[in-house]
Amino acid sequence: MGRFEPTGRIDVPGLEHSVANLPWGTLRGAFGPSDGSAGARSNVPSALAVLRHAPLYAGLPDEIDEAFTVLEHHPLRDRLLYPVAVTVAPFLFDLVRRSSPLSSRITELIAEYTAAADTLDHHMRDRLVQLVADHATEIMKWIGVHDRAVAALAVHVAALRAPYVEALAPATDLSPFALLALLELDTAPGISVQLATELLDDTDAHAVARAAAAAFLTRFGDQTPSLRARIAAALPPSAPAGLASFVGMLWIPRIGRSPTVAECVGAQMPERSRAVAFRSWQRDLTMHRS
């Protein structure tokens, strides 16, 4: 791509009637025109060419990273989406359809564009959302492969929600991303509660994954004293920020208040024991104040 100088228009074999012939100079992004005239960081056709021919660039990871840098920061900057993203998105879907070795990063990019769609004017936003909805069948095939991206798309695109929930209903394994998306969609299909409980109790699972399960169960679990105690242990005060980072800020998981350990212990006490404990707490507080 030329990391230090802008590049001109290029011919992309197999895409001559799409990428090469589009008026990139009139399509605006964060750095101005998208044809590279504003510098390499705005050269969208060149970036798409690199991704299109990823196998040829397998030995040049810096070139691939630079291509993603262009597509991550020129159409989308500071969570503000620019119109050129609507033109780029169909090419990204095409690359995934062609089983690009970069599909994981590409699907995340599609999800990032979609998550910021509301920052476009209504017309452009509707075009992007409709484009994503038109790929519903393909997107559902990402489940189990690109879980964070498909979960984010289901959260942001209403037309994908029913297909997503339907696809997850017979699942015998759910990713933490799926659990957080289902929490956002306010539904617990199939055996999702059982699967979340198993994940919560899996001591070998990552703490963030267990926190996702705990967050899901605060809404859908049977709130027994035992479950509330396990949820409290898995959802420390830092959990909301950790889960937001976990989903890549593609959405902000709505985490319900988890019970405190003290509340869980109290819930398991007989009534008489709770009264004794409360009086003891009052006595300790009075002594501390004095």
Structure confidence at residue 178 (pLDDT): 98
* The dihedral sign for the CA sequence 224, 226, 232, 235: negative
The two tokens of residue 130 are 């409709």
Instruction: Pick the more confident residue, 153 or 15.
Output: 153
In angstroms, the CA 82 to CA 203 distance is 44
Share above pLDDT 70 across residues of the chain, in percent, rounded to a whole number: 82
Instruction: Pick the more confident residue, 7 or 215.
Output: 215
Inter-CA distances, 76 with 82, 120, 194, 223, 246, Å: 6, 11, 39, 42, 20
Question: What pLDDT band is residue 15 in, cutting at 50, 70 and 90?
Answer: very low
Question: What pLDDT band is residue 258 in, cutting at 50, 70 and 90?
Answer: low
Evaluate if residue 143 carries a pLDDT over 60.
yes
Average pLDDT over residues 199-206: 97
Evaluate if residue 117 carries a pLDDT over 70.
yes
Of the candidates 268, 274, 264, 270, the residue with the CA atom closest to the CA atom of residue 229: 264
| CA angle (238 as vertex; 236, 240 as ends), nearest 5 | 100
Evaluate if residue 14 carries a pLDDT over 70.
no
Structure confidence at residue 18 (pLDDT): 62
Evaluate if residue 266 carries a pLDDT over 60.
no
Give the number of other CB atoms < 10 A from CB of residue 157: 22
Question: What pLDDT band is residue 20 in, cutting at 50, 70 and 90?
Answer: low
Evaluate if residue 261 carries a pLDDT over 50.
no
Structure confidence at residue 136 (pLDDT): 98
Q: Is 28 exposed, middle or buried (0-12, 13-18, 19+ CB in 10 A)?
A: middle
Ordered by start, the domain boundaries in the chain are 1-134
42 touches 69 (CB < 8 A): no
Question: What pLDDT band is residue 257 in, cutting at 50, 70 and 90?
Answer: low
Average pLDDT over residues 75-96: 96
User: Average model confidence (pLDDT) for the chain?
Assistant: 87
- pLDDT tens readout for residues 25-83: 889 999 999 999 989 999 999 999 999 999 999 999 999 999 999 999 999 999 999 99
Evaluate if residue 171 carries a pLDDT over 90.
yes
